[in-house]
Amino acid sequence: MNLISGLFPPDGGRILFRDQDVTRQSVHGRIRAGIARSFQLVNLFDQLSALDNVALTVFARQGKTLNLTALAAADSAVWDEAIEILKAFGLEPKARMLAGGVSQGERKLLDVAVAFALRPKLLFLDEPTSGVSTREKAPIMDTVTSVVRSTASRPPSSSTTWTWSSTTPTGSSRCTRGRFSPTGRRTRSGRNERVITTLIGTTEGDH
């Protein structure tokens, strides 16, 4: 995930994405190519509102940040899209609140919403429920799953979402495929239910 999203450079080889070589591209170049991610440690503008965080991402996606001060207030389409994204993630009631003032669970959702606003073709979610209470984990994943599935096959937003979680049950029932890599090397992959049941020892003779 860190290699594909551009956080770390590869030691060798090439990274091909949709027939495009992105190996030497910057993070911003990969975002333009259609690769986005959220972070385990939430990466938001805490002194801006939740709405501003999402709207700023939409402005950046559309290449409008150079004239942001002059155009922001008048560009109703961007603000409408940002509100719709917040609504999809259940965050519309917190639209005017500072990102630094909402709960940790809401911050995690907002971080995903910001990445989602880039309309990526490949979206990485890095530990989307880390740092939240146990009772918040399932609702967060239910919300994320609902949004992703509602747009996954809808052009022009068709996309693939890859969730990385160190807590297997967090996303196990919400993903169509799974991969188990305890040491960084793939030891098991396939249809998710099959992978999970093998790992917990309820599938016999399938190794």
What are 49-102's pLDDT values in tens digits?
A: 999 999 999 988 888 776 666 566 667 888 999 999 999 999 999 999 999 999
24 C-beta neighbours (distance < 10 Å), count: 11
Which residue did the predictor score with more confidence, 73 or 194?
Answer: 73
Q: In whole numbers, what is the pLDDT of the chain averaged over residues?
A: 79
pLDDT for the residue numbered 151: 74
Which residue did the predictor score with more confidence, 162 or 73?
Answer: 162
In a domain, 78, yes or no: yes
In a domain, 189, yes or no: no
94 in Cβ contact with 104 (< 8 Å): no
What secondary structure letter does DSSP report for 98? B
User: Quick check: helix, strand or coil at residue 63?
Assistant: coil
For residue 97, the enclosing domain spans: 2-175
Cα angle value 36/136/140 (rounded, 5°): 30
In a domain, 202, yes or no: no
In a domain, 201, yes or no: no
In a domain, 183, yes or no: no
Average pLDDT of span 190-205:
44
Tell me the CATH number at 18: 3.40.50.300
CA distance 163 to 22: 21
Domain count, the chain: 1
C-alpha distances (whole Å) from 199 to each of 127, 128, 137, 180, 189 are 20, 22, 21, 8, 11
Query: Which two tokens mark 152?
Result: 């996954």
CA dihedral 146, 54, 31, 126 (to 10 degrees): -50
Which residue did the predictor score with more confidence, 154 or 74?
Answer: 74
In a domain, 57, yes or no: yes
What is the pLDDT confidence band of residue 46, given thresholds at 50, 70 and 90? very high
In a domain, 18, yes or no: yes
In a domain, 206, yes or no: no
40 in Cβ contact with 1 (< 8 Å): no
pLDDT digits (tens, 9 = 90+) for 103-142: 999 999 999 999 999 999 988 888 888 888 888 888 998 8
Terminal Cα distance for the chain, rounded: 26
Predicted structure pTM score: 0.76
